[in-house]
């Protein structure tokens, strides 16, 4: 059956596809890649990732920079450090940057981001695209940042199963599935290119949960997706929990997730996540071959990188080579892909939606 042509996609069908192994799994992954070539081609767009700060008010049970982890040395980049990183991106052919940080919602933080957005637009002559990944904020904050120049926002739902969401977050009144959904709706209604995503291979997560994650993204009509394997972090409550898949299986499952999502949403932007590279040195390239079209090289000043450890063995902490565009380009060339220098690389899904209005 050609599932991309049908409006109805069953969760059981998707779960069966996620369970494929061996040559059948490989065939599915290759189909994901083929759908991508036929829809958006073989250009990979880059977002220079700047990890602004690891200060976080939340305490997600899986995350290494959770507020409850007292082993983390906290940092907050200065405006100059951030603007230097942006200048680096601008001078080196990046069409876009992504600003990510632990979650803060205080007035000072909101005003600071606003000011930075304006400065970034100014220093790049309005040229550089800006993605934000700064967690749950109020409608007014999202709107304010949009008006100041951000045009994409990435907020992973983490899992679309609300019971599982509850199990992965502390019961402290700060982690509410419905609020997260509301945030995504607000982001979309303001006019951002809206991105979400999930972790794959989480404790207590079934293939049926993942099938429903795919349907959630399809039904929500997201423009961009960043999803990757769950990888343990030593200093988190989920470390050492039994019943999770071996890392290699989480990796393969993620490739099938990427391929299936590409088949059911051919025109979205999809990130080849850094977590893939943690498990396999060629992880990002394999994700690209399965249907991903975005890479987010880390351009955070090197001395801070080992403090933004969301999970164990996060790559690129001690060297820039793996994240340099020339390195990525050479790797991609082996697979007949290229980099879209100095281009925003907007989601085709978003552009077509606009035209249909
Ligand atoms: N493994 C994989 N991904 C993680 N994230 C946080 N902790 C982990 C982990 N242990 C992801 C979450 C979050 C994004 C910034 O990083 O999905 O949204």
Return per-residue pLDDT of the chain as tens, 357 residues: 455 556 678 999 999 999 999 999 999 999 999 999 999 999 999 999 999 999 999 999 999 999 999 999 999 999 999 999 999 999 999 999 999 999 999 999 999 999 999 999 999 999 999 999 999 999 999 999 999 999 999 999 999 999 999 999 999 999 999 999 999 999 999 999 999 999 999 999 999 999 999 999 999 999 999 999 999 999 999 999 999 999 999 999 999 999 999 999 999 999 999 999 999 999 999 999 999 999 999 999 999 999 999 999 888 787 677 788 999 999 999 999 999 999 999 999 999 988 887
Tell me phi and psi for residue 219, to 5 degrees. -70, -30
Does the beta carbon of 66 sit less than 6 angstroms from any atom of ligand 1? no
Question: How many whole angstroms separate alpha carbon 241 and alpha carbon 138?
Answer: 34
- The DSSP bridge partners found for residue 294 are 45, 271
Residue 153 alpha carbon to ligand 1 centre in Å: 16
Question: How many whole angstroms separate alpha carbon 245 and alpha carbon 18?
Answer: 14
Tell me what pLDDT residue 271 has: 98
Tell me what pLDDT residue 301 has: 94
Tell me what pLDDT residue 89 has: 96
Does the beta carbon of 310 sit less than 6 angstroms from any atom of ligand 1? yes
Does the beta carbon of 199 sit less than 6 angstroms from any atom of ligand 1? yes
Cβ partners under 8 Å of residue 357, min gap 6: none
Tell me what pLDDT residue 315 has: 84
End-to-end CA distance of the chain: 31
Does the beta carbon of 165 sit less than 6 angstroms from any atom of ligand 1? no
Residue 8 alpha carbon to ligand 1 centre in Å: 30
Q: What residue owns the CA closest to ligand 1's atom 16?
A: 310
* Cβ neighbourhood burial of 238 (10 Å; 0-12, 13-18, 19+): middle
Question: How many whole angstroms separate alpha carbon 323 and alpha carbon 314?
Answer: 13
């Amino acid at each position: 059956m050609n599932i991309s042509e049908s409006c109805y996609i069953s969760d059981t069908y998707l779960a069966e596809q996620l369970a494929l192994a061996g040559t059948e799994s490989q065939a599915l992954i290759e189909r994901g890649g083929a759908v991508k070539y036929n829809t958006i081609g073989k250009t990979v767009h880059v977002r220079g990732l700047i990890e602004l700060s690891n200060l976080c008010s939340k305490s997600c049970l899986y995350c290494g920079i959770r507020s409850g982890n007292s082993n983390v040395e906290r940092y907050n980049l200065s405006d100059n450090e951030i603007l230097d990183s942006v200048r680096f991106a601008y001078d080196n052919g990046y069409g876009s940057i992504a600003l990510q940080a632990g979650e803060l919602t205080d007035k000072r933080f909101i005003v600071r981001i606003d000011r930075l957005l304006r400065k970034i637009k100014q220093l790049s002559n309005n040229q550089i695209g800006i993605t934000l990944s700064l967690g749950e904020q109020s409608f007014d904050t999202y709107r304010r940042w949009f008006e100041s120049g951000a045009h994409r926002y990435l907020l992973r739902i983490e899992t679309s199963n609300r019971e599982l969401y509850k199990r992965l977050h502390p019961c402290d009144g700060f982690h509410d599935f419905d609020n997260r959904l509301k945030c995504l709706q607000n982001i979309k209604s303001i006019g951002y290119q809206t991105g979400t995503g999930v972790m794959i291979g989480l404790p207590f997560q079934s293939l049926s949960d993942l099938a429903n994650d795919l349907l959630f993204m399809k039904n929500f009509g997201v423009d961009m997706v960043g999803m990757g394997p769950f990888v343990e972090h030593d200093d988190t409550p989920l470390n050492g929990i039994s019943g999770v898949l071996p890392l290699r299986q989480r990796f393969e499952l993620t490739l099938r997730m990427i391929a299936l999502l590409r088949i059911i949403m051919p025109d979205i932007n999809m990130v080849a996540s850094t977590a893939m590279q943690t498990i396999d040195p060629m992880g990002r390239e394999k994700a690209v071959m399965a249907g991903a079209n975005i890479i987010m090289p880390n351009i955070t000043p090197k001395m801070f990188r080992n403090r933004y450890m969301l999970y164990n063995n996060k790559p690129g902490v001690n060297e820039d080579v793996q994240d340099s565009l020339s390195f990525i380009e050479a790797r991609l060339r082996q697979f007949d892909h290229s980099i879209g220098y100095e281009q925003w690389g907007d989601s085709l899904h978003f552009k077509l939606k606009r035209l249909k209005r």
